Amino acid sequence: MLQILSIEAAAEAPVAGGELASRIAGLQRALKLLEPSGGGPSCDAEEFEVIEFASEGARRCFDSRSERVIGEAAAGLEAVVGSRSAGHEPHPVAVDLVAEAIRKGLANLSDLIRR
């Protein structure tokens, strides 16, 4: 389920660290749906819990970037699932592109935390 907030509401309500960690876990699960053998970055959702101790600006940056990665992942997964629902197997390159976008997004978020 996707939730859509207005820009003003999102700006006024910073996301709690636990929710950020759950976003990361959700992205990792999405990646495993596309690549059951793994292949994602070697980061755990718990690694991202340190965002709770980051500055407000860093938390907002992480929130914005994670929303973007989640949006890209959702669009890609929707295309893959839609293709399968229509009785077609999605092209392997398309699945790889979606998986790569999720991997890259997770790696970028991990890099942001490690700064």
Alpha carbon 56 to its chain's center: 20
Which comes out higher in pLDDT, residue 16 or 85?
85
Does the pLDDT at position 52 exceed 60? yes
Does the pLDDT at position 97 exceed 50? yes
In the chain, % of residues over pLDDT 70: 70
Structural domain boundaries in the chain? 15-114
Does the pLDDT at position 57 exceed 90? no
Residue 112 makes CB contacts below 8 A (sequence gap 6+) with 58, 61, 62, 65
Which comes out higher in pLDDT, residue 23 or 104?
104
Band of pLDDT at residue 5, cut at 50, 70 and 90: very low
Residue 113 makes CB contacts below 8 A (sequence gap 6+) with 47, 48, 50, 51, 54, 62
**pTM for this prediction:** 0.67
Residues 77-82, mean pLDDT to the nearest whole number: 89
In this prediction, residue 88 carries a pLDDT of 93
Give 29-49 pLDDT, tens digit per residue. 888 877 765 555 545 556 666
Band of pLDDT at residue 110, cut at 50, 70 and 90: confident
